[in-house]
């Protein structure tokens, strides 16, 4: 298969030849990885920790963005599940991903445009985000989160 790479002005900047079998493998891998992420969102919304346990790598790395009290890098399932418990406790169980707008795949990387919300006393948080997940050996190995308004999210969790 010949792949043409276009420059910003529409001219062909480069071409390369990829064997059809490689393209098929990449497509199949992307579809499998996308299914893993779809399962992840279903499990999160159902509060199904047992299912999440099967989807996460034992050594998962979770990058919680910002400069708030929950921000940082969490390593390992126990650490990530502890973060999830804290979200639940701090929001009195109201934290939820209430919409997954789109899931996009590129090999072992999957991105999802989401909407999430939570309540904390009289405080409310509701915004879009992007979750990027790296899949390795059929498991979620690494997660990066991006929030539409990081300062607002930091303030919500820090209040």
Which domains, from first to last, does the chain contain? Answer: 29-158 (3.10.450.50)
The residue among 31, 87, 98, 91 whose CA lies nearest residue 62 is 87
Distance of alpha carbon 43 from alpha carbon 51, whole angstroms: 6
pLDDT digits (tens, 9 = 90+) for 16-64: 555 555 445 545 567 899 999 999 999 999 999 999 999 999 999 999 9
Distance of alpha carbon 58 from alpha carbon 128, whole angstroms: 28
- pTM comes to 0.82
pLDDT digits (tens, 9 = 90+) for 122-141: 999 999 999 999 999 999 99
């Amino acid at each position: 298969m010949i792949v043409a790479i276009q420059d910003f002005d529409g001219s062909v900047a480069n071409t390369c030849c990829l064997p059809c079998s490689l393209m098929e493998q990449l497509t199949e891998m992307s579809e499998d990885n996308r299914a893993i992420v779809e399962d992840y969102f279903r499990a999160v919304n159902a509060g199904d920790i047992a299912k999440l346990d099967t989807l996460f790598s034992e050594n998962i790395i979770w990058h919680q963005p910002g400069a708030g009290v929950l921000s940082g890098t969490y390593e390992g399932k126990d650490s990530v599940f502890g973060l999830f418990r804290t979200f639940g406790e701090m929001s009195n169980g109201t934290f939820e991903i209430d919409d997954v707008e789109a899931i996009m795949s590129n090999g072992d990387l999957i991105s999802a445009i989401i909407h999430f919300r939570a309540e904390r006393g009289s405080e409310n948080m509701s915004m879009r985000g992007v979750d990027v997940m790296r899949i390795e050996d059929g498991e979620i190995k690494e997660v990066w989160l991006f929030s539409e308004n990081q300062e607002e999210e930091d303030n919500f969790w820090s209040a």
